[in-house]
Amino acid sequence: MDQDALKKQVAEAALRFVPEGEYIGVGTGSTANFFIDGLATMKDRIKGAVASSEATAERLKGHGIEVVSLNDVDRLPVYVDGADEVNAHREMIKGGGGALTREKIVAAVADQFICIVDGSKQVKRLGKFPLPVEVIPMARSHVARKLVALGGQPQYRDGFVTDNGNIILDVHNLDILNPIELEEKINNIVGVVTNGLFAKRPANVVLVGENGSVNQY
Ligand SMILES: O=C(CO)[C@H](O)[C@H](O)COP(=O)(O)O
């Protein structure tokens, strides 16, 4: 199976977690897009969705699924999203698509985070994928210097503006021994909105699309 087929397979496996008569949180990216397409086949069973990006909101609406603000829901039982890397502790690097801040906010509200990935995203140690950091534009150089002091090599994602009007620094060569500690350290740099480590709030369930099967842990 090619990577897209694996993404579609795992996205469809996540449909069983969709709660009846509730709002559902929906992530961003190509795997999440397959999930949205599947969700469309059962849209009458949910109240609507909370989107983690403008792109996801557009795709949901295109399928006739009502999109509501996170501020308008009392509870969000489930959030389904992809990841760029995930380890055995269900900690992740996210934000390859640049939607990390809204993803982290929706994930923080959700009772359950269902992470959907193809097998290539599974890693022993996080950090081979450059860590995305969303930064207030005027703090770009300051934050970059602090990231260098932490041992990373930040690279400006040229021409990319987040849904929140900010920039992204992709940090290469980080040795991530303690994901929770590093997540906190980077978030404490003035000018950082958030970073793509999801360690303080890991996934509750990881579904992995392998050739012909979906594994869960
Ligand atoms: O964090 C994300 C977007 O900000 C995505 O979940 C992550 O980049 C994975 O994307 P894809 O499913 O396209 O491989």
- CB of residue 36 inside a 6 A radius of ligand 1: no
pTM over 0.90: yes
Residue 53 is assigned to a ligand binding site: no
Q: Which domains does the chain have, with CATH numbers?
A: 3-123+200-216 (3.40.50.1360), 131-196 (3.30.70.260)
C-alpha Rg value of the chain to the nearest Å: 17
Residue 200 CB partners (closer than 8 Å, separation 6+): 180, 183, 184
Residue 53 Cα: closest atom of ligand 1: 4
Q: What distance in angstroms lies between residue 20's CA and the mean position of ligand 1's atoms? A: 26
Q: Which residue has the tokens 């609507």?
A: 48
pLDDT at 137: 98
Averages of pLDDT over each 10 residues, the chain, 217 residues: 95 98 98 98 97 98 98 96 98 98 98 98 97 98 98 98 98 96 98 98 98 95
What does the pLDDT read at residue 83?
98
CB 96 near ligand 1, within 6 Å: yes
ipTM of the complex: 0.98
To the question of whether residue 29 is assigned a binding role by annotation, the answer is yes
